[in-house]
Structure 1
Amino acid sequence: MSDLRVMVVDDHPMWRDGVARDLTDNGFDVVATADSVAAAAARAAATLPDVVLMDMNLPDGTGAQATAAVLEVHPSARVLILSASDERDDVLEAIKAGATGYLVKSAQQSELIAAVTSTGEGQPVFTPGLAGLVLGEYRRMSQSPQSDAPVLTGRETEVLRHVAKGLSSRQIATRLEISPRTVENHVGSALRKLQLGNRVELARYAIEHGLDAD
């Protein structure tokens, strides 16, 4: 029996309900389902799932946009894309938005169950063939000429340390005795300076640079 809380996001009711049923039958706690970007963000904020299974095609946007929206309201969630598409651009867009992994819908039920479990443990999961694509892209990006390293202020660095530990803006505000809005201003400034897209990328940057250490 798993204690992982899962949300399923897909605009096809039969598929969404079938996946939710399979997860429930395998011991997962399906706390919510959603059929759009807006619903995904709202329900993630309300139910705080550990893992979000995310389709790439939604009526009001892409799975990448929904991933970013979910992580904005619930930064510690882990998003696993479950899509019919294995197109390079879709995969990279999703990962850059903060998704932990990417699985195609042709996967067997046993593969899906294992992938949700691994995602909940923080492990990246990819359909065979896609992992190499993602690693190759990150390798290419890492080898690109870099400009002078951006300089963060002391307060931005302090906020970044807490972001790396998965704390919300409200939690960070309490610890630093500043307002949540001020925290968001520092996060936004750090994102611009580091040319990152969202809090997940910011947390990854902080961890890679050792800012999550006490």
Structure 2
Amino acid sequence: MRVAVVDDHPVFRMGMAGLLGSLEGISVRGQAADAAEALVLPLDEIDVILMDLNLGDDSGIETTRELVRRDPDVRVLVVTMREDDDAVAACMRVGARGYLLKGATPDEVERAVRAVANGEVILGSAVAARAVTALTSGRSAVRVPFPDLTEREREVLDLVARGHDNVTISRRLVLSPKTVRNVVSNVLTKLAVRDRSAAIVRAREEGLGLD
């Protein structure tokens, strides 16, 4: 089984590569620290890619989407610190085959990698427990992303995440360009991000702009 590890933290990335390389029947064929490096991995030589969600200024969700677009047979196992339902759903929507938390044990990592390689879809124990609780409690598992935003701010952010500029957004929502600028400014402030690009990364990680 051939694997690659994509993570912007070198200690974690090298540690995970070392763990995987020590397992019987598994060889590490590549490592990447960001989206640019991940997108030049030789997909025809890799069976499973372990993917972090936060790659510095890049999004692991968008990187996964592009890898799956390039090779629908690529199997991505997300390994992240994030355990919220929206992140899980967003990853599955773009084609990830599994979702594992970074607190997983070596045995859990091995089981997940082998399961994904065999074509299974797998959730780590903590994530699966949350999903079962949501289903058996009768509550909807869907959570509104960015609850601190107003409905209008969330609507504008969704369009920003789809790549639309302010003029296009103003036309689609029948708002003045000035109003759109003000809304975007409010969104950046509430999300505590420095610019539009960072807001897009955050929005797509939460599932906005992906349909």
TM interval, shorter chain, is 0.5 to 0.7
Equivalent pair of 1:7/1:53 in contact (CA under 8 Å)? yes
Specify the code of the residue in structure 2 equivalent to 1:49. I
TM-score by length of 1: 0.58
Q: What displacement does 1:34 show?
A: 0.5
Equivalent pair of 2:112/2:124 in contact (CA under 8 Å)? no
Q: What displacement does 1:100 show?
A: 0.5
Q: Per the alignment, do residues 119 and 132 of structure 1 end up closer, same or farther by CA in structure 2, a change over 3 Å counting?
A: same
Unpaired stretches in structure 2, ≥5 consecutive residues: 142-209
Among 89, 94, 107, the residue aligned to 1:92:
89
Q: Per the alignment, do residues 134 and 52 of structure 1 end up closer, same or farther by CA in structure 2, a change over 3 Å counting?
A: farther
Q: What displacement does 1:133 show?
A: 5.9
Equivalent pair of 1:44/1:70 in contact (CA under 8 Å)? no
Among 18, 41, 63, the residue aligned to 1:21:
18
TM-score by length of 2: 0.59
Taking the TM superposition and a 5 Å limit, the aligned residue runs for 1:140-155 are none
- Name 1:74's counterpart in structure 2: 71
Q: What displacement does 1:37 show?
A: 1.4
- What are the Cα deviations for residues 138-190 of structure 1, in whole angstroms up to 9, with x where unaligned? xx79xxxxxxxxxxxxxxxxxxxxxxxxxxxxxxxxxxxxxxxxxxxxxxxxx
Hey, what's the Cα distance between the residues in 2 that align with 1:21 and 1:122?
A: 24
Residues 1:59 and 2:56 are matched in the alignment: yes
Hey, what's the Cα distance between the residues in 1 that align with 2:88 and 2:36?
A: 21
Q: What displacement does 1:134 show?
A: 6.0
Hey, what's the Cα distance between the residues in 1 that align with 2:65 and 2:45?
A: 15
- Name 1:119's counterpart in structure 2: 116
Structure 1 segments (4+ residues) deviating >3 Å: 131-137
Q: Per the alignment, do residues 129 and 13 of structure 1 end up closer, same or farther by CA in structure 2, a change over 3 Å counting?
A: closer
Q: CA RMSD in A?
A: 2.4
Equivalent pair of 1:92/1:134 in contact (CA under 8 Å)? no
Larger radius of gyration: 2
Among 36, 39, 43, the residue aligned to 1:38:
36
Hey, what's the Cα distance between the residues in 2 that align with 1:61 and 1:132?
A: 29
- Name 1:145's counterpart in structure 2: none
